[in-house]
């Protein structure tokens, strides 16, 4: 309790200074003594024969027809893994555990924003998934059909995903923070047949009317036949007979038995739209067996998971695992739903924000559920640093034994604070680098053997081959900064972009040939071969771990009738990693009162509140090349206050001077 005194914060500062001098952190001995992986030989196995390494991992799953072929690489980059085998993902996540007598193990401790609790065992989850799978079938959903899911962090989101997997429907989850316009676009391009949503969702004590908002887009979605509404917050919600159905009523009516369909290993499990260089989101398609192999293996090994399903006794009680992401992003798909369930883990599922009802809620939940593994993002850690160490100090965090980080490079200061204040210096930190496209963790420490360096994701996972190459020829670099590539296929890799196979090849596999996946990040390797990921090289920005394309935001802004032109960039931000800055040119006859507010609201409506620009800078003109291309590089230089690079290729070099003045004014206004 004493830690809210300035003296206590000072004490922490001093401790962090001491830790700053440490270059590498060896696995804590107490942790190491019980670690799942204690031998470096796992790296040799993965390197010597990656195919048999992955085949062994795949055999840990249940197959209705075992595979013989491991990898078909005859048509790169369209790789197929385990393709002559058959299995079902929901069977692997649920039935398998229940049949082995672990039906009473808790799959999720769900906690609602107002303190409500619901415990779902594996048996309960399976029973509900079976019913909902039947309900979807009753609505006409068939194998291969796309089902949209637009839900907050309620237990039904997991049920809906697994019910799709059970019958071979392909889910397309849209993060609940997206505006309905983003839902419309994603449903339209994937021709979703049904959409599962909610009456309303909890937002820091208020309720957002989700179904009413969804109703606005339904007339524009002719292929969407049914809407299923989870009654979460109660209260009135508009329903149209024949089209809209309450989830609980469907469950009640549905048959209780539903056998899992044996699906081809390569059957698509889900589509997840993510942002790229253009305004049009990319529909990342993941497979069933390869994806599950990747997420189950990494979840077990990277998080050193001990579950009730483990045969070997490591002298540890089963873990309580908490990935504090949202299911609407890939982190949630892979490490809230599929990885943990495939491994029979017990997880926490928290509905709310990290600061509601108070800034200590995360730590309260860790104490309450005795959480032993916490996986979160640097932006959340930085928010906690800002709120102060007095919040975690109020709770007993001694159950924690491992910490994870994901989503962006973690700055050493945040790493050390996480290590000291949350981990009590006894928990290894796994900084995991991966992407929506990679499906599973790719570069990461193995907590029982890897020495960590704050800010580095360390080394590729066994069986994964990564390189930093020069940007022209793709030759591996001995030192210095280059492009991060993955030069061998892996089971959980994206299979294609939904209905855009050519774009898949073009975006990821054209620069250095069809066998080299170019990830879109810059990185460097140090003398120990450790990877340091620097950031994106394309027009993708990462705001609080939310991935956005600058083009997407621009397209929302220019849809304003009074906006002539807009250019959006990501600017370094202490809190959120990057912040969105929009340079906007208004039409001369603009009549409105508050253009900045209008621009921000418009982005909120078209994409989602999280995408609203932090700064709007008015520009009479934007820096363009003679051919008319906006030079975002120069805008980034201005925004970061850097010396301007070469401006001689500009059509009108004067533009830069005016803009720099606007930025300076905006800065001064903020400082006031
Ligand atoms: C981009 C992928 C991976 C799930 C969440 C984000 C950045 C991710 C790290 C890390 C440095 C990281 C990269 C990557 N990124 N993890 N540990 N260190 N950068 O998935 O939305 O597909 O974004 O996030 O830039 O390319 P995503």
Distance CA 400, CA 390 (A): 18
Contact between 619 and 658 under an 8 Å Cβ cutoff? The reply is yes
Section 420-440 average pLDDT? 98
Best CA proximity match to 215, nearest among 241, 235, 238 = 238
Residue with CA at minimum distance from ligand 1 atom 5: 407
Centroid of ligand 1 to alpha carbon of 406 (angstroms): 7
Q: For ligand 1, what atom is nearest to the CA of residue 436? A: 22
| Strand-pair category, 563-573 with 577-586 | antiparallel
Residue with CA at minimum distance from ligand 1 atom 13: 408
Cα 326–chain centre separation: 7
Distance CA 10, CA 32 (A): 31
3-state secondary structure of 651: coil
Cα torsion at 295, 297, 301, 303 (round to 10°)?
20
Amino acid 506: pLDDT: 97
pLDDT band of residue 642 (cuts 50, 70, 90) is: confident
Q: The dihedral of CA 131, 134, 139, 141: what is its sign? A: positive
pLDDT band of residue 399 (cuts 50, 70, 90) is: very high
Centroid of ligand 1 to alpha carbon of 441 (angstroms): 10
Centroid of ligand 1 to alpha carbon of 134 (angstroms): 36
Contact between 316 and 81 under an 8 Å Cβ cutoff? The reply is no
pLDDT band of residue 495 (cuts 50, 70, 90) is: very high
Centroid of ligand 1 to alpha carbon of 469 (angstroms): 19
Q: For ligand 1, what atom is nearest to the CA of residue 275? A: 21
Centroid of ligand 1 to alpha carbon of 547 (angstroms): 8
Distance CA 353, CA 362 (A): 9
Amino acid 524: pLDDT: 96
Section 309-333 average pLDDT? 94
pLDDT for 323-335, tens place per residue?
999 999 999 999 9
pLDDT band of residue 480 (cuts 50, 70, 90) is: confident
pLDDT at 2 over 80: no
Best CA proximity match to 443, nearest among 276, 310, 298 = 298
Best CA proximity match to 485, nearest among 501, 474, 498, 499 = 474
Amino acid 4: pLDDT: 55
Section 548-558 average pLDDT? 92
Centroid of ligand 1 to alpha carbon of 444 (angstroms): 12
Q: For ligand 1, what atom is nearest to the CA of residue 535? A: 25
Residue with CA at minimum distance from ligand 1 atom 14: 435
Contact between 334 and 340 under an 8 Å Cβ cutoff? The reply is no
Give the H/E segment covering residue 341: helix 339-342
Number of separate helices (H) and strands (E) present in the chain = 23, 30
Residue 367 CB–ligand 1 contact under 6 Å:
no
Contact between 122 and 344 under an 8 Å Cβ cutoff? The reply is yes
Residue 273 CB–ligand 1 contact under 6 Å:
no
Residue 518 CB–ligand 1 contact under 6 Å:
no
pLDDT band of residue 5 (cuts 50, 70, 90) is: low
pTM: 0.94
Distance CA 94, CA 91 (A): 5
User: Where do runs of H (alpha helix) occur along 462-543?
Assistant: 501-508
Contact between 224 and 195 under an 8 Å Cβ cutoff? The reply is yes
User: Where do runs of H (alpha helix) occur along 476-617?
Assistant: 501-508, 550-558, 595-606
All structural domains of the chain, each given as residue ranges with its CATH number in brackets, are 119-264 (3.40.50.980), 541-671 (3.30.300.30)
Residue 326 CB–ligand 1 contact under 6 Å:
no
Centroid of ligand 1 to alpha carbon of 539 (angstroms): 14
Distance CA 567, CA 581 (A): 8
Centroid of ligand 1 to alpha carbon of 402 (angstroms): 20
Amino acid 639: pLDDT: 86
Amino acid 278: pLDDT: 85
pLDDT for 405-419, tens place per residue?
999 999 999 999 999
Distance CA 509, CA 502 (A): 10
Task: Count CB neighbours of 14 within 10 A.
Answer: 10
Residue with CA at minimum distance from ligand 1 atom 19: 408
Residue 406 CB–ligand 1 contact under 6 Å:
yes
What are 616's strand-pairing partners?
Answer: 582
**650 against 43, higher pLDDT:** 43
Section 355-362 average pLDDT? 97
Distance CA 212, CA 417 (A): 43
Distance CA 584, CA 625 (A): 17
Residue 542 CB–ligand 1 contact under 6 Å:
yes
Residue 431 CB–ligand 1 contact under 6 Å:
yes
Distance CA 243, CA 193 (A): 11
Residue 288 CB–ligand 1 contact under 6 Å:
no
pLDDT band of residue 395 (cuts 50, 70, 90) is: very high
Amino acid 254: pLDDT: 98
Residue with CA at minimum distance from ligand 1 atom 10: 433
What's the whole-number average pLDDT of the chain?
94
DSSP state of 630: B
Contact between 412 and 452 under an 8 Å Cβ cutoff? The reply is no
Residue 469 CB–ligand 1 contact under 6 Å:
no
């Amino acid at each position: 309790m004493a830690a809210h005194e300035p003296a206590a914060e000072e004490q922490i500062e001093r401790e962090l200074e001491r830790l700053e001098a440490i270059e590498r952190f060896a696995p804590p001995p107490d942790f190491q003594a019980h670690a799942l992986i204690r031998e470096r030989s796992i790296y040799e196995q993965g390197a010597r024969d990656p195919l048999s390494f992955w085949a062994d991992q795949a055999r840990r799953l249940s197959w209705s027809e075992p595979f013989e072929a491991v990898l078909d690489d005859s048509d790169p980059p369209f790789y197929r893994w385990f393709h002559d085998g058959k299995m079902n993902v929901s069977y692997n996540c649920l039935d398998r555990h229940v049949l082995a007598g672990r039906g009473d193990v808790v799959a999720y401790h769900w906690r609602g924003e107002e303190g409500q609790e619901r415990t779902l065992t594996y048996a309960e989850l399976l029973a509900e998934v079976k019913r909902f799978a039947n309900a979807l079938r009753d609505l006409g959903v068939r194998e291969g059909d796309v089902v949209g899911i637009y839900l907050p962090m309620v237990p039904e989101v997991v049920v809906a995903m697994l019910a799709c997997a059970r019958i071979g429907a392909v889910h397309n989850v849209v993060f609940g923070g997206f505006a309905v316009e983003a839902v419309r676009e994603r449903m339209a391009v994937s021709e979703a047949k049904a959409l599962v949503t909610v009456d309303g969702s909890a937002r820091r004590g208020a309720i957002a009317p989700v179904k009413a908002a969804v109703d606005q887009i339904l007339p524009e979605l002719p292929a969407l036949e049914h809407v299923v509404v989870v009654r979460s917050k109660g209260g009135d919600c508009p329903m149209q007979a024949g089209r809209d159905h309450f989830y609980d009523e469907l469950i009640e009516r549905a048959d209780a038995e539903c056998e899992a369909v044996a699906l081809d290993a390569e059957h698509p499990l889900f589509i997840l739209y993510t942002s790229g260089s253009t305004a049009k989101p990319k529909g990342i398609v993941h497979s069933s067996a390869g994806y599950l192999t990747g997420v189950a293996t990494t979840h077990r090994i990277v998080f050193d998971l001990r579950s009730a399903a483990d045969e070997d006794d490591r002298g540890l009680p089963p873990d309580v695992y908490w990935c504090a992401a949202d299911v609407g992003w890939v982190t949630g798909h892979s490490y809230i739903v599929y990885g943990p369930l495939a491994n029979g883990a017990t997880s926490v599922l928290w509905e709310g924000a990290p600061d509601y009802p108070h800034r200590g809620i995360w730590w309260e939940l860790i104490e309450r559920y005795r959480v032993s593994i916490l996986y979160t993002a640097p932006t959340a850690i930085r928010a906690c640093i800002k709120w102060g160490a007095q919040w975690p100090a109020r709770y007993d965090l001694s159950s924690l034994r491992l910490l994870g980080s994901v989503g962006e490079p973690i700055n050493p200061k945040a790493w050390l604070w996480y290590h000291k204040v949350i981990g009590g210096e006894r928990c290894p930190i796994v900084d995991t680098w991966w992407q929506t496209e990679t499906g599973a963790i790719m570069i990461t420490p193995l907590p029982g053997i890897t020495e960590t360096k704050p800010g580095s994701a360390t080394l590729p996972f066994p069986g994964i081959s990564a390189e930093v190459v020069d940007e022209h020829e793709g030759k591996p670099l001995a030192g210095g900064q280059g492009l991060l590539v993955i030069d061998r296929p892996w089971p959980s890799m994206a299979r294609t972009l939904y209905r855009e196979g050519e774009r898949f090849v073009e975006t990821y596999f054209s620069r250095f040939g069809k066998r080299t996946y170019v990830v879109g990040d810059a990185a460097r390797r140090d003398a120990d071969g450790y990877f340091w990921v620097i950031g994106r090289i394309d027009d993708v920005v990462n705001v609080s771990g939310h991935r956005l394309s600058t083009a997407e935001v621009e397209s929302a802004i220019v849809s304003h009738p009074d906006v002539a032109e807009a250019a959006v960039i990501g600017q370094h931000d202490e809190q959120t990693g990057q912040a969105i800055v929009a340079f906007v040119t208004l039409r001369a006859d603009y009549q409105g009162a508050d253009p900045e507010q209008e621009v921000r609201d418009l982005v909120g409506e078209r994409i989602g509140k999280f995408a609203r620009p932090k700064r709007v800078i008015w520009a009479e003109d934007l820096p363009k090349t003679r051919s008319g291309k906006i030079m975002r590089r120069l805008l980034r230089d201005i925004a970061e206050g850097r010396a301007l690079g070469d401006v001689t290729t500009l059509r009108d070099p004067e533009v830069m001077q005016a803009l720099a003045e606007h930025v300076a004014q905006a800065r001064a206004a903020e400082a006031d």
